[in-house]
Amino acid sequence: MSKAFTIFGGTGDLTFRKLLPALYNGSISGAESEDYQIIIIGRREYTTKQYCALAREWVQKFARLPYSDRAFGRFASRIAYYRMDFSDPAAYQELNDYFSAHGIEEFIFYLAVAPRFFGLIAENLASVSGASRGKVILEKPFGETLEAAKDLNRRLETIFSPDQIYRIDHYLGKEMVRNIETIRFSNPIFTNLWDARFIESVQISALEDVGVESRGGYYDEAGAMKDMVQNHLFQILSIVAMERPSDYIGSDMHAEQLKVLHALRPVGQEPIKDTLVLGQYEGYRQEKLVGAHSQTDTYAALRLFIDNDRWRGAPFYIRTGKKLGEREMNVVVTFRRPRPDVAHNVLVIRIQPTEGVYLQFNIQKPGDTTDITQAKMDFCQSCLLENRINTPEAYERLIGACIRGEHFWFSQWDQIETGWEYVEQLRTAYREAGLPLVSYPTGSSGPVQADRLLERFGHAWFKT
């Protein structure tokens, strides 16, 4: 019996930049993915040889592990290019015949296509013998609205059972996102202080220095709230704030994350002007495939509260945006001051591009004085070549997790549904309040209104 890792959208940017390099890394390191044939499905008229020649260039550029012709040759021997119009239902019977002719009976399907095709492909895979016993991996966003997400989930579950559906959120595969649990629960100096009695605020930032580039068509239908907040940043929020799960690799962790999302203060209990700022970078409407009068948000800043015993009263600030002056993603935990004349202790978990941990605390200034100064300890995990080489990248890690059936690395439907409901309520409240989509210069730190949101409550975005 043969196994196949089949990629729909095999000529797209995601496949070339992320999936093929991840599979190549797995081939070198002897990961489980090496047991699978790689079936590339695309509409372009390539032969397998032509496709592998293209793939070679991307693997050379983006693979984590060293490239060699010998290693790539071994990897490429598992690749087959299959030309197909996946929007044509009749083509799936031919695909079934192809799989049967090659003795393939065990399947993983990766849908590296636009979200509008997810349901269509899944339903047509019913024509493929054995497909319904396989696994399917979907990229975010999972649906384009709450109703669309519900409809997509219903369509998927007519073919696949819930435990066969893997909704990928590549941020969950990032090294320092998974490290949040260790930092929190394996260090008493943090574990015993991880609540609103000792923590004044938490910030989660995901800032990009690039614009929409070639993704204008997709992004103009999504925006920052849908593209980042509803999935990636709510996942990180739930990991930062959850109670200690009994099992870090099972359903209990998922249950604890979901409790956090359910405890978010209901929209409307705080004035929306004190909760959300939406912005759009200057020149966005001139981007390719973007509407001339687009009201799509490319920046979002939020002030949220988690109304449970652990976090009641401590604000969580979230921000994300494009075309900003820096690229960084981090979690900033600001501890309460013991008295007004000393600085805050601050813990920063750096997720990208630098991975590591930064800690700021108070000491007495050297010399014959009682003055207090700040000490700063900065551990850069990704600065060490050994760490970079030995740390699997997000897609590499998540593909392996899917093969092993480890669902805890993936977003679950109830988390997605809860996130969608909350984001749609926020957007509706913002619109009904008549609040503006504010403009901000490219290369800046974002809208000044986002800075003022924090300033009104005695806080500021953290800068190291």
Active site residues: 232
Instruction: Sort strands 104-111 and 135-138 into parallel, antiparallel or unpaired.
Output: parallel
Q: How many CB atoms lie within 10 A of CB 178?
A: 15
**SS3 (DSSP) at 6:** strand
Written as one letter, the residue type at 360 is Q
**SS3 (DSSP) at 48:** helix
Length of the chain, in residues: 464
Q: Radius of gyration of the chain from Cα atoms?
A: 23
Instruction: Sort strands 437-440 and 372-380 into parallel, antiparallel or unpaired.
Output: unpaired
Closest of 335, 338, 332 to residue 319, by C-alpha: 332
Closest of 204, 169, 183 to residue 415, by C-alpha: 169
In 198-254, at which residue ranges do the beta strands (DSSP E only) sit? 199-207
The DSSP output letter for 337 is P
Whole-angstrom distance, CA of residue 19 vs CA of residue 13: 9
Provide the token pair at 71. 């290693």
* Cα distance from N-terminal residue to C-terminal residue, the chain: 55
Per-residue b or e along 26-41, where b marks 16 or more CB atoms closer than 10 Å to that residue's CB:
bbbeebebeebbbbbb
Asked if residues 173 and 308 have their Cβ atoms less than 8 Å apart, the reply is no
Residues linked to residue 432 through DSSP beta bridges, in sequence order: none
Whole-angstrom distance, CA of residue 452 vs CA of residue 463: 16
Query: Which residue has 């929020």 as its token pair?
Result: 237
Provide the token pair at 232. 């990636």
Residues linked to residue 347 through DSSP beta bridges, in sequence order: 333, 359
Asked if residues 23 and 38 have their Cβ atoms less than 8 Å apart, the reply is yes
